[in-house]
Structure 1
Amino acid sequence: MSLYGLLNTSASGMAAQSTALSTVADNIANVSTTGYKRASTEFSTLVASSGAGNYQSGGVDVDTRVAIGSQSGTTSTSSSTDLAVDGNGFFIVSGPNGTPALTRAGSFEKQADGTLENAAGYTLLGYPVGTTPSANSYAGLEEVNISDLAMKAVPSTEGTVTFNLPLQATAVTDATKLPSANAADATYTQKTSFTAYNNAGTAVNLDAYYTKTADNTWEVSVYNQADATAGGFPYSSGALATETLTFDSTTYALTSPTSLSIPVPNGSTVVLDISKSTQLDAKYTFSANVNGNAASAVKSVEISDDGTLSVVYEDGSSVAAYTIPLAMVASPDNMTVISGNAYLPNQDSGSVQIGTAGTNGFGTIGSYTLENSDVDLATELTRMIQSQNIYQSNAKVFQTGSDLLKVLVNLNT
């Protein structure tokens, strides 16, 4: 073994332990970084050619690895846009120059422009509801943006109305006095008002008049309450809808029609299911359940375990806006590590596969939670002490080789 070989070997040992200490330093610095994956060093020997009785030292080579595919514990938070993946998968974010990247760091927060950005500055990507995703491509993904969902008004389009009309009511036989004639002296059996909503979210009160015209036959007329005069009739505009109701003479159940269509002023046509209505020898009853609501502000954003992002409004209603997908690669530990706790697939890691959380091997998404760093501080401090001692030992070998070389040089003088 030559003295120069001894010096080179100990120098490679010091360089290898320097790398190990660098990974320890990175790990300790990121012990509180959301979704951080610890770096480690693996060593392998470098063997030089040696003959009988002549050993030539080689040295040590070092390979740095990042446990990208590992999963650590989680911490609960108070924000619905703090996300963690339970199981396989990564969030897809807008990376450098707009290139999609993968991350487990789900500390997303709404920005002024409505996008959701994590602490490293990456913007969450997702599919608008109704988009068919590609299983092996980023096509169709866009930045999740909830700014356009600040206010919402849903016009009424459907509902259910159930009533019982009293069997023993007196019939009105003069057609000129039926509510449908809209005369000042209109006569009716029962009246009930209910509410629907137009396209602007304005409540439209509707007056429904029920009038018996013959045995098992009734007329229903619906007016816009805003068109009524002080005494009700006449309304300034005609009836929005008028239908003749026919009941079975044996069961007294409604036979026709089974629905009632009412065009709401400045809104949609509301189709009411009235099939469960009856004409029994009992008092008049009426119940209505009509969809739609007034304009309402956003109260919160909720994200389900399958990645569905819904906007919840002050009135309690919610609307699904985006689907947040997850991505996987065949060998996650081989992905390229970039700044901000993010990764780029490459040839060694395999191509990206995209899917819905909770299906086909993908993990689920947890809201109000963040994935912790997988660094164990005690382990890192132990590694630091070990690397420090090994570095010092290599330095001692280098010093010894240097001293021997000086002795050899002095022998030649």
Structure 2
Amino acid sequence: MSISGSMYTGISGLQAQSQATSVVSNNLANSTTTGYKSVSIAFEDVFYSTVYAGGTIGQVGNGVTTSSLTTDFSQGAYESTNTVTNVAINGDGFYIVVDPDTDTTYYTRDGGFTFDTNGYLVDSHGNRVQGWETVDGSITGGLVDIQLDNSQSPPQATSEVAIQVNLDSTETDNTASSTNPYASLFEIYDGTSDPALDDSRYAYQTTISVYDENGAAHDLTVYYDPVTTDDGSIVWEYTVCCDADEDMRDFAGTDMADTSGAGMLVTGTLTFSSSGDLQSMTAFTLSDTPTDTTDPLAAENWVLAEFDDNGLPVFEANFTGAAENQEISLDFGISNSDFATGTGWDTSGGIDSLDDFTATTTPDQLPAFNTGVLSTRATTSTTSSSATYTLSQDGYAPGELTDITISENGVIEGSYTNGQSQELYTFALADFTNNQGLYSEGGNLYSATTDSGQAIIGTPGSAGFGTLASNSLEQSNVDTATELTNLIIIQAAYQANSKIITTADTLLSTAIGLKR
């Protein structure tokens, strides 16, 4: 091998170690870069020269060159943050972001996202994060920009009212009826008066707000009064009423608000055991096909209520003038588990409507549930003072978005001022057959190439994809100690190769000097 060949070998060594220095330097420079993946360099020897020695053939190498640069895509450590939109991937996958100006798709492990002024979830370069719109736990459609823009929770009309009270069993009957003692409040009700029921005519009342289909609130008031019975049974009558001016039900082509029945929604009885436990109830509502079309409060117009799927009696209201009335279930703590059989009512006492009552009707003749099931939060009637324990209903007004959470499965869920929560989007993740084929674009971004293959897209937590951790960022996976050690080794190798060059230069100078 010639002296010039030695010099070439030394130069190749300097070039290789210089490249290695650049790789290590870049790793160290990005040791605190979010989501950065360290790179390692590998070398290989180059072509060989044939040498004849003592009748044999040998080979002498001619230096070194870079064989590969390999990215370490292993998981980096987590760094906790106070920003919910900072998300780290625990496992495989890349976030998908799109440049809104060029529609170019990039992939990144950097989950330092924020919402811009237009409500788009973006990275630090303004690229928009991709995901699926999510409704009732299911993703819909294709990938879209994740955007929260004037997000609202739609209203929900009340469909069930639950009431738990104690009614003082020592109360006296405030309103008696000579024709129907179990509907005396109903008989004196007058929706054209203010109030429709005078407060001296009942023993207790509770009021709860319910919501119509537009999310507007309306008060329902339940009036209670004990019934005097000959056998000492504990029976209370009740009526459920709304504001007469808000009653927009149709009665035989007339607005209910213009009649004496305005606001009367349901009436019935509650029967208790001697120990004060609720045993049965009745509920009468206005018939869809009234017999008397001139008087909504005619007794024959009020028939036993139907049941919902949970065995609760249902009454109707209409606060908006909608074509269909709003159905509301009434839960005093007792339901009918056998409502599917016939009407669900035991009417062996011969009572199907308020018109069937007489002055001599006894408590045991009252209609009852075929099979009553008592809940743990049932209305009672004991010697304790009348009191309201719980009032609840399932409707709500529209809500403004106040906060979001991100689950480990990548679901973005919004919390609203109406106390509701709603799933909005699900993050999309991408993975590749050959991650080493990804092209580094800078800015913590990668782009797909023919070597990487097309992106395989899925949801966090599904097969082959990692989960997400909110309020966290993935740190660089650079091992500083290892890189500093590599730097020392590279420096020594660089110095050794420089010595080759200086030695070769000395030998070459000596050879040139011989000619002189």
Q: What TM-score do you get using the length of structure 1 for normalisation?
A: 0.81
Counterpart of 1:352 (choices 432, 437, 455) is 455
Displacement of 1:314 after TM fit? 4.2
Q: 309-318 vs 278-287, which deviates more?
A: 278-287
Counterpart of 2:132 (choices 118, 127, 131) is 127
Distance 2:89 2:244 in 1: 53
- Residues 30-179 of structure 1 correspond to what in structure 2 (within 5 A)? 30-53=30-53, 55-95=59-99, 97-130=102-135, 140-149=142-151, 151-152=152-153, 154-162=155-163, 172=177, 173=180, 178=187
Amino acid at match of 1:381: L
Displacement of 1:323 after TM fit? 0.9
Contact 2:76–2:475 under 8 Å retained in 1:
yes
Amino acid at match of 1:113: N
Distance 2:120 2:222 in 1: 46
Displacement of 1:333 after TM fit? 3.2
Amino acid at match of 1:154: P
Distance 1:385 1:40 in 2: 15
The 1:57/1:225 distance shift into structure 2, 3 A limit, reads: farther
Larger-gyration structure (1/2): 2
Contact 1:252–1:279 under 8 Å retained in 2:
no
Displacement of 1:205 after TM fit? 2.4
The 1:378/1:284 distance shift into structure 2, 3 A limit, reads: same
Unaligned 5+ runs, structure 1: 229-233
Contact 1:8–1:59 under 8 Å retained in 2:
yes
Displacement of 1:225 after TM fit? 6.7
The 1:407/1:312 distance shift into structure 2, 3 A limit, reads: same
Q: Any idea what the Cα deviations from partners look like across 1:384-406, whole Å, max 9, x if unmatched?
A: 22212212222221233334334
Contact 2:218–2:242 under 8 Å retained in 1:
no
Counterpart of 2:221 (choices 201, 207, 210) is 207
Unaligned 5+ runs, structure 2: 230-234, 248-255, 284-304, 306-311, 335-377
Distance 2:88 2:416 in 1: 24
Distance 1:240 1:352 in 2: 62
CA RMSD, aligned part only?
3.8
Distance 2:43 2:379 in 1: 88
Counterpart position of 1:272: 329
- Residues 280-295 of structure 1 correspond to what in structure 2 (within 5 A)? 282=382, 287-295=390-398
The 1:180/1:124 distance shift into structure 2, 3 A limit, reads: farther
Amino acid at match of 1:197: Y
Counterpart position of 1:4: 4
1:324 aligns with 2:427: yes
Displacement of 1:35 after TM fit? 0.8
Counterpart position of 1:231: none
The 1:163/1:387 distance shift into structure 2, 3 A limit, reads: closer
Secondary structure of the 2:52 match is coil
Counterpart position of 1:194: 208
Distance 1:52 1:159 in 2: 100
1:254 aligns with 2:256: no
Q: Any idea what the Cα deviations from partners look like across 1:166-208, whole Å, max 9, x if unmatched?
A: 6985664489963765243855745432112346644332334
Contact 2:405–2:413 under 8 Å retained in 1:
yes
Counterpart position of 2:343: none
Distance 2:26 2:448 in 1: 22
Secondary structure of the 1:36 match is coil
Displacement of 1:213 after TM fit? 9.8
Counterpart position of 1:16: 16
Q: Report the count of equivalent residues.
A: 403
Secondary structure of the 1:398 match is helix
Distance 1:120 1:110 in 2: 12
Q: Any idea what the Cα deviations from partners look like across 1:217-253, whole Å, max 9, x if unmatched?
A: 967443237659xxxxx96676466345477899732
The 1:14/1:199 distance shift into structure 2, 3 A limit, reads: farther
1:404 aligns with 2:507: yes
Contact 2:241–2:266 under 8 Å retained in 1:
no
Distance 2:409 2:63 in 1: 51
Q: Any idea what the Cα deviations from partners look like across 1:311-347, whole Å, max 9, x if unmatched?
A: 2234543221111132222332332222121223334
Displacement of 1:280 after TM fit? 6.4
- Sequence identity of aligned pairs in percent? 28
Counterpart position of 1:224: 243
Q: Any idea what the Cα deviations from partners look like across 1:344-394, whole Å, max 9, x if unmatched?
A: 333433432222322324222111111111112222222222212212222
Contact 2:272–2:380 under 8 Å retained in 1:
no
Contact 1:328–1:354 under 8 Å retained in 2:
yes
Displacement of 1:108 after TM fit? 0.9
Secondary structure of the 1:375 match is coil
The 1:227/1:141 distance shift into structure 2, 3 A limit, reads: closer
Counterpart position of 1:182: 191
Secondary structure of the 1:178 match is helix
Contact 1:128–1:321 under 8 Å retained in 2:
yes
Secondary structure of the 2:430 match is strand
The 1:24/1:317 distance shift into structure 2, 3 A limit, reads: same
Counterpart position of 1:381: 484
Distance 2:190 2:162 in 1: 24
Q: Any idea what the Cα deviations from partners look like across 1:33-54, whole Å, max 9, x if unmatched?
A: 1111111111112232424335
The 1:221/1:292 distance shift into structure 2, 3 A limit, reads: closer
Counterpart position of 1:242: 265
Counterpart of 2:493 (choices 390, 394, 405) is 390
